[in-house]
A and B are shown apart, each in its own frame.
Chain A
Amino acid sequence: MPMAAIDIEQMIKEHLPGADVKIEDLRGDGDHYLAHVRSAFFKGKTRVQQHQMVYEALKGRMGGELHALALQTSVPAEE
C-alpha cells in the first residue's frame, strides 16, 4: 500500500522539528513523490547526509513501501 503524502510529511516533521516540507505527487499514483525539505538541521551537512536524515525519518520505508521519493533538501537562509 503506497504511503500518503501527509504521512510522509508528518514523519519528516516529527524527526526534523521545525522543518518546512512540501510534497508533490509526481504521477498522481501515490507512489512517486518529490519532497522539498528545508531544515536548519541540514546546516553543515553534505547532501548525502541530509538525504540520509530524511530517510531516517521514514524509518526504513524508503526503498520498500515507499518506492520513489525524490528529495530536494535545503538549508533555511540565515535570518
Chain B
Amino acid sequence: MSENPVHERIKGEIDGNQVMLFMKGSPVFPQCGFSAAVVQVLNALGVKFGSVDVLTDPEIRQGIKEFSEWPTIPQLYVKGEFVGGCDIVREMFETGELSELLSTRGIDVRAA
C-alpha cells in the first residue's frame, strides 16, 4: 500500500462514498463548467454522491492526478473505481452506460 499520506486521504474519501466526485467548487456552487456538467448528470440520475472541492485542498488537487494517472479535474469514482472525467461521464450518460454501471453496482438510479 502506498505510504503517501495524500493518496491515503484520497483512498479514504473514495472508499467512504459509493459515488465520489473530485471537482472544482461544490455541487451547489461548481466553479468550472466541466465539474458542473458532471454534477448535472448525477443530479439527473438522482444519485447521491460525496464530493471534494479540490480548489480548497491543493494537496488533493495534485495528488488525485497522480493517484488516478488522470491529468484533469473533475474525476468521478463509483465503488472505488475510476469512471472518468467530464467527457467520459457525459458520453456514458448519453449512451445509458452510466446508469447501467451504477445499477449493476447496486446504486439507486432514477430513470433519466
Q: Is A4 an interface residue (CB 8 A)?
A: no
B26 at the A interface (CB under 8 A):
no
In the assembled complex, which residues on chain A have CB atoms less than 8 Å from the CB atom of B80? none
Q: Residues of A contacting B85 with CB < 8 Å? A: 51
Chain B contact-residue range equals 10 to 19
Complex partner residue of A71 from B65, B69, B82, B87, CB under 8 angstroms:
B87
For the complex formed, measure the closest distance between the CB of A35 and the CB atoms of chain B, giving whole angstroms.
Answer: 10
Closest B residue, CB atoms, query A52: B69
How many residues of A are in contact with the other chain, CB < 8 A?
13
Q: A68-B34, A72-B91 are in contact. Are A51 and B84 (CB under 8 A)?
A: yes
Minimum CB–CB distance for B66 against chain A, Å? 12
Determine if B88 is an interface residue (Cβ-Cβ < 8 Å). Answer: yes
Beyond known contacts A48-B83, A51-B85, A68-B34: 18 more, CB 8 A cutoff = A47-B88, A47-B91, A47-B92, A48-B70, A48-B88, A51-B84, A51-B87, A51-B88, A52-B70, A55-B70, A60-B71, A62-B72, A63-B65, A63-B72, A64-B71, A70-B86, A70-B87, A72-B91
Interface set of B (CB-CB < 8 Å, partner A): 34, 65, 69-72, 82-88, 91-92
What 7 pairs between A and B have smallest CB-CB spacing? A63-B71, A62-B71, A63-B72, A47-B88, A70-B87, A71-B87, A48-B84
